[in-house]
Structure 1
Amino acid sequence: MTIDSLPAGPASAAVEVTGAGPQLDYYLIGARDSTTTVEGILVEEFTRDRDFVTTGLASAGWTPQAGWWSSASLSRDIRTNPEMLARVVPTSRRQAEDAHRALGGGQLPDETLLRTHFLDHQPIASAPPLRLGPAQPPAGFHDRRVYRVLFAKDLRPDQVAALRTAWRTPAAGTSASGTNASVASGRLDGHGDQFSWDLRRVGHTLAWGLDVTALLATDATAALGSTLSALTDVLRQHGLIPVTTERFS
């Protein structure tokens, strides 16, 4: 089985916010040489505090030769080591099941059982929110929050174009300009709450950042968590690897 044989990322990227609980993230690990043969599977789950800020990362890897092993070091490497980053492809659970079966592992365990392999938790430091933007939310809202989700890896021009189409980004772009300009943006209104987001290169173009502004008129903060999760998953489907979620205000 090869990575190239797997379906490409979706042509569209509509944000579907559901009340479903957290799900695991799946990755395929490719060969070290110029081929793209799948060697194994990586399964991850971020831990977050009550403000949805990342506090840690739990993970486990699997190969036919070694079985399951806890892999905090591998999770670090795929976000910091360019060679490892090039070998890992975000995927869906269904595709991970197909790879697990094709590599001789049989049926992929359910997520409850997979979590029992998370033995090596990687803490991720967080800081109090920075105050960016106005101190008070606009009239009609009781809370204003700004988050940034950081991603490793890169996007192709066609993937950026697909995001712009799905998120209905204005043809003229966004208000930002220069190296930190937003390349795709969107907006979602629900039950009086408003969410808007901008995707841009950050860190001297070495990473991608998704900046999400939430204006909350209700006390349903679960909708905020679901929206952050859904947006993160959309970008995973397009090949980016999430690193952390920070709160700016």
Structure 2
Amino acid sequence: MSDGVQRAGGADDASLDHYLIFATPEDRDRGVPPLGILVEEFVLCDDYTAAGIDGVEWSSATGAWGDSSATSRNLRTDALLRSRVIAVSRHDASDAYKACGGGELPPAAEIRTLFRERQPLPAAAPLDLGATGSRRYRVLFAGELGGDGLANVRSALRLEPVADPADPLARVVGTATVTAEGHTFTWEMRRIGPGIAWCLDMTVRLGAGPESTIGVLLHHHRQVIREQGLIPVTIERFA
């Protein structure tokens, strides 16, 4: 990329996150058209940590695209706003856009030309924890998982139970280990306070394979969890 960063999942539609915004939480389940569509993209550093979030918002009232920085920030801090938002695929966002009179949803390349103000994310050098040849990542999410959502995450990420996931005081609810492209990955799903936030912690023991596998796995896991209602906040690295 010319700005020294990369897109979270490549340069195609797969790296864009789509959200439908409704007037009330009840409207989400009643087939009422959304008030708007939020499209975001995580911007990554070379080591796959997050440098910022680009985004744009479409309003059904005006039929126009505009700045989304306030909505992006509030989505991660305001539980009431999150209750009015659904994370969707591009296909579902396209259907909603068409139903609201927008026509065909623009392709990813065109949507990116509408990005105006990047929301920067704090960055710091990884801590030296003495683990040569390994990295530790944390993907932070805002919101809470219901029982079905947590069960879906545990299944999709092949998490082995560590504690009773129904216990609101249980911190680590599952862990998994896999070897891919010569690297060994271990991840765990962790609750950060009841009803506050969640995180995915992933340790990578580097092998001889391509480092791009790290980015692919982080992107896949982030999307799996986002699809269950949590909002990704940032991707940090601790070592």
1:51 is matched with 47
Percentage of identical aligned residues: 38
Corresponding residue of 2:79: 82
Instruction: Tell me the C-alpha RMSD between the 2 structures.
Output: 2.2
Deviations 1:120-151, CA, capped at 9 Å, x for gaps: 1111111111244xx134xxxxx200000000
**Residue correspondences, number:** 222
Structure 2: which 5+ runs fail to align? 1-8
Q: Deviation digits for residues 172-191 of structure 1, max 9, x if unmatched?
A: 549xx994631132222113
Q: Does 1:182 align with 2:178?
A: no
**Map of 1:65 onto structure 2:** 61
Aligned 8 A contact 1:163 1:184 in 2: no
CA contact (8 A) 2:159 2:188 kept: no
Distance 1:99 1:201 in 2: 32
Single out whichever of 26-35 and 98-107 deviates more from structure 2: 26-35
1:152 pairs with 2:148: no
User: What's 2:4 paired with?
Assistant: none
**What SS does structure 2 have at the residue aligned with 1:80?**
coil
Paired residue for 1:32? 24
| CA 237–33 in structure 1, closer or farther in 2 if over 3 Å, else same | closer
Q: 1:17-54 CA deviation, whole Å, 9 max, x = no partner?
A: xx854611100101136433321100001111111111
| Residue number in structure 2 paired with 1:106 | 103
Measured in 2, the distance between the counterparts of 1:92 and 1:29 equals 14
Paired residues for 1:1-249 under 5 Å: 21=11, 23-32=15-24, 34-36=26-28, 37=32, 38-66=34-62, 67-132=64-129, 135-137=130-132, 143-171=133-161, 173=163, 179=169, 181-202=171-192, 206-249=196-239
The separation in 1 between residues aligned to 2:168 and 2:24, in whole angstroms, is: 36
Deviation at 1:80, TM superposition (A): 0.7
- Residue type of the alignment partner of 2:20: L
Moved more, 200-209 or 44-53: 200-209
Which consecutive unaligned segments of at least 5 residues does structure 1 have? 1-18, 138-142
Deviation at 1:203, TM superposition (A): 5.1
Q: Does 1 or 2 have the higher relative contact order (CA < 8 Å, sep 6+)?
A: 1
One-letter identity of the residue aligned with 1:103:
C
- How high is the TM-score relative to the length of structure 2? 0.85
Normalised TM-score (structure 1): 0.82
Cα deviation for residue 169 of structure 1 reads 2.8
Distance 1:178 1:136, change over 3 A: farther
